[in-house]
Chains A and B, each alone.
Chain A
Amino acid sequence: MENLGLFFALLGAALSAGLAGAGSAIGVGIAGRAASGVVTQEPNMFSKVLVLQLLPGTQGIYGLLIAFITLTQIGIMGGDPNISLAKGLLYFAACLPMAIGGLISAIAQGQCSVAAIGLVAKRPDQFGKAMIFPAMVETYAILALLVSILSIFGIVNVPF
C-alpha cells in the first residue's frame, strides 16, 4: 500500500498514452477509410488525402509525451520512484486533460478529416482550406496538452 502514490501516477500516464492513442487510432482509422475511397476513384490524390488522414494522429503523440514526462518525473525512468499518495493523485489529475481531451478531440478530428477528404475529392484545388477545418480541432488537443504539461511540472513545487 505504500506504493499507492506511484500506482496513481502510473495510472495517469497509462491513461494519457492509452486514451489519447485510442482516440487517434479511431480518428486516423475513419479518415483512412475515407482516404481509401477517394484513392480508389482517383489514385493521384494519395498525397493530399494522406496529410488529412494523419491529422488526428497527433493526439496519440501528445498522450505519449505526457506519459513520458510523467514517468520521468515520478522516477520510473531512473531515480527514486517513491512518491506520496497525494503527489501520485496530483500526477493522475494532471494527466486527465490529455487523456480525455486527446480521446474526444482525436475522434472529432477524424470525422472532420473525413468531411475534408470529401472536399478535396471534389475540389482538389481547395486542399489548403480543407486542411484548416480539421486543424481547428487540434487547438483543443493542444490546450489539453498545455494544461497537462504545466500541471505535471508544477507538481514538483508542491510542498508534500
Chain B
Amino acid sequence: MTGAYIDKDYVYAVARIRGAELKLLNQTVMDQLIAARDADECVRLLAEKGWGDEGNTGDASEGMLSREREKMWELIDELVPEKSIFNVFRLSADYNNLKAAIKESVMEYEYPGIYISESTIDPELIRKAVKERDYGALPDSMVEVAREAHEAFLHTGDGQICDIMVDRACLSAILESGKQSKDESLEMYAELTAASADIKVAVRGAQTGKDREFLQKALCECDTLDINALTNAALQGQDAICTYLATTDYADAVEELKKSPTAFERWCDNLVIRRMKPQLYNAFGLGPIAAYILARENEIKSVRIILTGKQNGFSEETIRERVRETYV
C-alpha cells in the first residue's frame, strides 16, 4: 500500500506546483498588459512579476520569453527526474529540429538559431545524423521518417512534402507518447493536439485544393476523428469539413473555423486549458504538473502575442481577440 504513496502520487511535486501556480499570470494581469502603452511597458510589467532574470529589465523581449520557458522546464526537471514522462510536450521540438536539419543539409547552409532546445534528443545529434545520412544514430521511431523526408526533399525539392511527412510522424509520436504515459491528462493533450492539427491540415488542404493522396499523407489517425470522413470532406471544401466536424467532439469549433484559422487555433488552446482546469483541485499525480506546463506554455504564447501586437501597433481589441484564456 505504501509503495503507491511513495512513488506514484507526486505529492511533493504537486505542492511545489501549487506554490508556482500563484505566480502564473491571471486575467487581470493579462488585461494590464493588453492596456499597456507599448511593448516596453509590457516588459517592465512582466519584469515586476518576476519574468526574465533578476536585475535584467529585459531589453530583448524574446530572450525574456525563452528564459521563462527554460525556468519552467528547470522546475519540471527538478520535480520529475524521469524526463521521458513529459516527452509528449517535447517531441514537437525534436521533429521541428529534424525539419531544420533536413533543410539545412539540402540547402548546404547553416542557419543560426533554427534549432529548438528543450527537446528529447540533442539537436546536434539530429543535425549530424541527417548531414551524414547516418539515420541509425536517431531513435527508432524517427529513422524511417528522417530517411523518407530527406530523400523526398532531395528528389522533389518540395519543402512542403518534407514538412507534412515529418509533421505527421510528429503527431503519431505525440499520440504514442500520450498513450504510453497512461495519464489521462497527457493522453487528452496528445489527442487534442493531433485532432486540431488534422483539422488545420484539412482546412488548409481544402483551401488550396490538395488531392486525396496529399491529404492521406498529411492526416494522422486519431481516436476522436474519422480520417477517411475528414479526407472526403476536405476534398469537397471547407463547408463539408464544418458539416463533418458538427458531428464530432469538435462541433463548437465550427463557428471559430468559419471566422479564421487564428480563431480556430485560439479555440484549440482554450479547449486544452479548460479541460485542464479541474487539475487545479487535484492534489496527487501527474495531472496538475502537466496542466502547469500547458498553462505556462499558454501564457508565454499569450505574452508573445501581446508583445508582437504592441510592437506592430495593433489595437487593444485586435490583441484581445488573439490572447488565450488563462489557467488561473
A residues neighboring B (CB under 8 Å) = 26, 29-30, 33-38, 40-42, 107, 111, 114-115, 117-118, 121-122
Q: How distant is the Cα of A37 from the Cα of B21 in the complex, in angstroms? A: 13
Asked if B275 is at the interface of the complex by the 8 Å CB criterion, the answer is: no
Question: A33-B11, A114-B11 given as contacts; is B16 within 8 A of A40 (CB)?
Answer: yes
Instruction: List chain A residues, Cβ under 8 A from B22.
Output: 41, 121-122
1/0 contact string of B282-319 vs chain A (CB within 8 Å): 01100000000000000000000000000000000000
The answer to whether B18 touches A30 (Cβ under 8 A) is: no
Contact of B20 among A26, A35, A41, A111 (CB under 8 A): A41
Instruction: Report the nearest B residue to A117, measured CB to CB.
Output: B15
A121 touches B11 (CB 8 A): no
Max chain A CB contacts within 10 Å: which of B1, B2, B11, B284? B11
Q: Is B139 an interface residue (CB 8 A)?
A: no
Contact B283 A114 (CB under 8 A): yes
A-B CB contacts (within 8 Å), total count = 60
From known contacts A114-B283, A114-B284, infer whether A35 and B15 are also in contact, taking CB-CB under 8 Å.
yes
The 17 listed contacts between A and B (C-beta, < 8 Å) are A29-B5, A30-B5, A30-B9, A33-B11, A33-B12, A34-B11, A34-B12, A34-B283, A37-B16, A41-B19, A41-B20, A114-B15, A114-B284, A118-B14, A121-B15, A121-B22, A122-B18
Provide the residues of chain A in CB contact with B245, threshold 8 Å: none
Q: Closest CB-CB distance, A44 to chain B, in whole Å?
A: 11
Q: Smallest CB–CB gap between A126 and chain B, Å? A: 13
Interface flag for B234 (CB, 8 Å)? no
Rounded to whole Å, the gap between the CB of B15 and the closest CB of chain A is: 3
Q: Which of B13, B16, B283 lies in contact with A115, CB distance below 8 A?
A: B283
Known: A26-B2, A34-B283. A122 touches B11 (CB 8 A): no
Q: How many angstroms between the C-alpha atoms of A4 and B17 in the bound complex? A: 54
Instruction: Give CA–CA (A26, B16) in the complex, Å.
Output: 20
Most buried by B among A34, A36, A111, A117: A34
Q: Is the CB of B284 within 8 A of A38?
A: no
Given A30-B5, A34-B15, A114-B15, 7 additional A-B pairs, CB 8 A: A33-B11, A33-B15, A37-B12, A37-B17, A114-B11, A114-B284, A121-B19
Q: A37-B11, A38-B15, A117-B15 are in contact. Are A122 and B5 (CB under 8 A)?
A: no
Report whether A122 and B21 are in contact in the complex, using a CB–CB cutoff of 8 Å.
yes
CA distance A69 to B21 in the complex (A): 48
Interface residues of B in 1-37 (CB under 8 A from A): 1-2, 5, 9, 11-22
B19, A42: Cβ atoms closer than 8 Å:
yes
Residues of B within 8 A of A38 (CB): 15-16, 18-19
| Given contact pairs A41-B20, A118-B283, A122-B22, A34 touches B14 in the complex (Cβ within 8 A) | yes
Asked whether B15 lies within 8 Å of A30 as measured between CB atoms, the reply is no
Contacting residues, chain A, for B13 (C-beta < 8 A)? 37
**Cβ distance B114 to chain A, nearest Cβ, rounded Å:** 36
Q: For the complex, what is the distance from the CA of A65 to the CA of B182, rounded to whole Å?
A: 44
Contact B283 A37 (CB under 8 A): no
How long is the Cα–Cα vector from A12 to B152 in the complex, in angstroms?
76
